Amino acid sequence: MGKKAVVIITAAAVCAAAAALVVRHRMLSSGRWARATAIIKELEEKCGTPIGKLRQVADAMAVEMHAGLASEGGSKLKMIISYVDNLPTGTEKGLFYALDLGGTNFRVLRVQLGGKGRGIISQEFTEVSIPENLMVGTSDALFDYIAAELAKFVAKEGQDYQLPPGRQRELGFTFSFPVLQSSINSGTLIKWTKGFSIDDAVGQDVVAELSKAIEKKGLDMRVSALVNDTVGTLAGGRYVNGDVVAAVVLGTGTNAAYVERAHAIPKWHGLLPKSGDMVINMEWGSFKSAHLPLTEYDHSLDTESLNPGDQIFEKLISGMYLGEIVRRVLCKIAEEASLFGDTVPPKLKVPFILRTPDMSAMHHDTSSDLKVVRDILKNVLEISNTSLKVRKVVVELCNIVATRGARLAAAGIVGVLKKVGKDAFKDGEKQRTVVALDGGLYEHYNEYSKCMENTLRELLGEEVSESIVIEHSNDGSGIGAALLAASHSQYLGVDES
């Protein structure tokens, strides 16, 4: 009997200890989930974009636009005069090239324009990725690499592309970084953005740098227009639709350009252009306002970036940064709530390892077990065996960060429309207004673009939003640059009939 009692007591003790462990584990687990939930709730609150706040952001954007047009350095917005006072009309004719340098890739493109009523007869392009070492190397190394790829592309010119004898090829150069332009085909680099940091190029004329590299390659080509990607998108949009008044690029980086009345630019000291208009490159990525909903993750991202204190709007809404914000939040939840186990997965600590295309794929995952989320966590971050509950947390984070970005982008567009007086009807006049949009973020992140367009309607109201049209200007920066090379050709008027 004694032995039996000991066995029973021992077994009971083991069971009790096991039960206590289970309870402790559950308490620990629920404590972890409570902490994870608290972090997400706080993020959601800090990222909040109620309509009142968005109106304040739109108003602040319009105010900064006025200040930037009044004087150089008068605003965080550079409001750069583009020297484009005549946008393409559809009558341009001939063979033109474009070089589009806007992020981690660049594209070289050629178009054959047919003239009035014929539009673009044929076009082709090639895309080349820039080695990481060239993004932080020297100016010569970067431009020599680009010129070599350009020469390869020109060498493959086919029968569909005809250059009249004795003529130089002409190129529109889309350069999507802040430049102080001094004419249609010259401009000095103010600063790099989007992960580039090449010190010896800052303060240099980027057209002269490219032309020098082209000449070294023995290529007979003239750079006839230097354009920002957003100015190119505006030109591409206007070529097919005369109602286009502004363009926005939402890609790796972000920017906006629009058509301003020349007499409304106090800092313009030259002769007023015949058209009365001037395209302004806003450089809206550097917009900053006390009304922007910033979190601790945005502050740390900014502090650790190559350009602390700069491009704050871009760091909230563009493709370069959205995935990184999600990674930073996940890292905090992993550290403080052990979301992925007792140790933080090493890959999760690597900055920019979670790219926005991965975030977009997870956000769009409609499978019942969130298989896409599981695979990306496993393949990109090396986090295996995640529960459905954890995967749902990841999707929720993607939604919070993308929603804030999309709604702020919409507020920015309303600010531009407000500046040009298109945010409300005047004297019952219902004029159609088109905003051309381009960029991989807008094109491929459907939840983002859908949210942005819905927010635009919410801000403008049903009646006004019916007359505001968002049009995807596909490859606007490439074709737009070629079109501006055509409208600023040295041979203009030679063969007009």
Active site residues: 194, 229
User: Rounded CA gap, 323 and 353, in Å?
Assistant: 8
Q: How far from 1 is each of 4, 5, 8, 14, CA to CA, in Å?
A: 5, 6, 11, 20
CA dihedral 342, 345, 350, 351 (to 10 degrees): -60
Backbone φ and ψ of 185, nearest 5°: -130, 40
Sequence-distant (≥ 6) Cβ neighbours of residue 80 within 8 angstroms: 178, 179, 180, 181, 228, 280, 281, 282, 283
User: Rounded CA gap, 394 and 379, in Å?
Assistant: 15
Backbone φ and ψ of 433, nearest 5°: -125, 130
Closest of 322, 313, 315, 252 to residue 282, by C-alpha? 313
DSSP code at position 323: H
DSSP code at position 266: T
**Structure token digits, residue 156:** 């493959």
**How buried is 82 (Cβ within 10 angstroms: 0-12 exposed, 13-18 middle, 19+ buried)?**
buried
Closest of 223, 188, 218 to residue 203, by C-alpha? 188
User: Rounded CA gap, 330 and 456, in Å?
Assistant: 30
HEC per residue, 435-483: EEEECHHHHHCHHHHHHHHHHHHHHHCHHHHCCEEEEECCCHHHHHHHH
Residue position matching structure tokens 């484009």: 84
Residue type (1 letter), 308: P
What strands lie across the sheet with 80-81, from one edge to the other?
80-81, 277-281, 254-261, 244-250, 433-438, 468-472
User: Rounded CA gap, 345 and 343, in Å?
Assistant: 6
Sequence-distant (≥ 6) Cβ neighbours of residue 353 within 8 angstroms: 327, 347, 380, 381
